[in-house]
Amino acid sequence: MKVIKGIAVSPGVEIGQAFVLGEVEQHVPRRVIDLHTRDQEITRLETAVQDAIGDLDAMQVRTREELGGEASKIFEFHIGLLKDPTLLEPIHRQILDNGDNAEFALAEQFRTLVEQFKAMGTAVFRQKANDIIDLERRVLGKLMGETASRMEELQGPAIVISHELTPSEAAALDPNKIVAFATDAGGLTSHTSIVARALGIPAVVGCKNISYQVNDGEQLVIDGDTGQVVINPDDAAILEFQRQRELMSSYRMTLREGADLEAMTLDGTRIQILGNIEFPREVDAVLDNGGDGVGLYRTEYLYLTSPSEPTEDDHYRAYSDAIKRLDGKPLTIRTVDLGADKYTQERAEEPERNPFLGCRSIRYCLQNLPMFKTQLRAILRASSEGPVKVMFPLVSTIPELRQTRMILNDVMEELEEEGIDFDRELSIGIMIEVPSAALMARVFSEEVSFFSIGTNDLIQYTLAVDRGNERVANLYTGASPAVLTLIKSVLRAGRRSGIDTPICGEIAGEAAFTMLLLGLGLRTLSMVPTQIPEIKKVIRSVDMDTCERLARKVGSFDSESQVRTCLRDELRKINSDSPGGRATS
């Protein structure tokens, strides 16, 4: 039995068999092949090589027809290398002698060859090294292309192990087959972690090298509450985890039973509880868990989960679907937050070195106006069907906001000229996600109808901590006095201008923060749907005087450890019936 510690990002305990998911570009996992099936692994390799040669032959013919014989010669080296027995024999030996899977053996041998060519020093041999890397990716693509079919053939509960999952890969997981996942990389508020919570499956990220330590088929336990992954647990450990799972399941069932009760404090203060969603179907989960509407619709998943850019009608259908499901309850749509992701970086002629500080979110939209206007047209069209608000992400300057509003006004004029109906009183807001916006909140409040505090990025940019980097995950915390000071400043500006200021970052769904947020003056919280019942329970257990006293006490602290300890102690006093008397968010 071996225990690996990572970052708990989605709660729950699950037991299942490992399904190791490799990535051609980044990481090739090693699996131990049984002695009796190593010949089959050789056959897999040979089939992949022949398929790759077939593709190259076809490309050579097409290139010869379109560009001439000279251009087609670039494929001769590739084809010749894949047909060379001196290249493939060492890979065969590694599979037969060591029991390595075909992907791992091929990657090892090709990388050795790449280093040999690079060591020769000349530009010619460096180009040959690049050719070999291209070949490696081509053959690995054939081998790893079987992943989808292997996943379809899964029978029992499986746990995905990977170096990293993209948000679209996480969203594509079938909860009926995949019960949990763990990754080498990732952080608490990475988009993949957010998707895991939306799906309601336990997840642990930031495990550093777990994909090297787990083989297909091994039994695993994923504890999404403590951040533990147990490889080949013994019988006693399995029994204990099963007991924990039953206790947590019972507790969450109790929470769900009270989900329809109002989120009202003991002294009668009504708090609006909204849900964060990525897909229209999640509206049902928001309502089932007692939510009052949607406070954050992350629309970039229309891009991240599709092979092509969504059309205006694609946008419109999604927004219209969400509005119909809400049946009169409010929907706040955030325009696309693209740029710091694989979707855009892979399509860029020159990927950015630091995309989180580059052309992302509203900056990306302002530099891609046709795409941006397409989305705005769809949002406006949908606004005629129900209560809709629109908010712009990562706005950092007043000129940026004014340019955005000018574009929105242009789109409104276009729709009016076309006779297309929309809500002419559409409520417009911005996400407060960067320190510059928080510090200038008073000025921004004169230009918008509402703020929405996005603590995920606000923490990241205030503390200079990459929220997806497991190496500095311990530095990323909403309990930072600096972050709390900025939140108070934004709330003060909102109150003075009389505009709504909800919070939609992940700390809104952490029970330990609920009393503090109420004490600071927040009256609208937006979170992952499954977090709603527990947050409502906390709200119904406290009064505003207690919350305000806690906020004043926390305001005197100068370290996040003091803040976190104080918040957990206060939560235990009112949440003692949770398993272990601990916070479960």
What distance lies between CA 455 and its chain's CA centroid? 15
**513 closest CA partner among 570, 469, 559:** 570
Which of left, alpha, beta for 226 (phi over 0: left; psi -120 to 50: alpha)?
A: alpha
Q: Contact at 8 Å (CB) between 105 and 95?
A: yes
Strands 331-334 and 294-298: parallel
**192 closest CA partner among 159, 176, 168:** 168
| Residue located via tokens 């979707």 | 343
From CA 184, how far away is CA 564, in angstroms rounded?
Answer: 26
Residues in the chain: 585
Tokens of 152: 């379809």
Q: Contact at 8 Å (CB) between 81 and 87?
A: yes
Query: Is residue 191 annotated as part of the catalytic site, yes or no?
Result: yes
Q: Which of 92, 191, 207, 547 is an active site residue?
A: 191
Q: Which of 78, 92, 365, 504 is an active site residue?
A: 504
DSSP 110-170: HHHHHHHHHHT-SHHHHHHHHHHHHHHHHHHHHHHTTHHHHHHT--S-EEEEES---HHHH
The residue type found at 393 is P
Long-range contacts of 471-480 (CB under 8 A, 24+ apart): 473/7, 473/187, 473/188, 473/206, 476/187, 476/188, 476/189, 477/560, 477/564, 478/505, 478/506, 478/507, 478/510, 478/513, 479/560, 479/561, 479/563, 479/564, 479/567, 480/560, 480/563
Q: How many CB atoms lie within 10 A of CB 307?
A: 5
| Residue located via tokens 């403590």 | 226
Beta strands in 255-330 (DSSP E): 272-277, 294-298
| Opening angle at CA 572, ends 569 and 573, nearest 5 | 95
Longest dimension (CA), the chain: 83
Task: Give the H or E element holding residue 15.
Answer: strand 13-21
Tokens of 27: 């990481």
Residues acting as catalytic residues: 191, 504
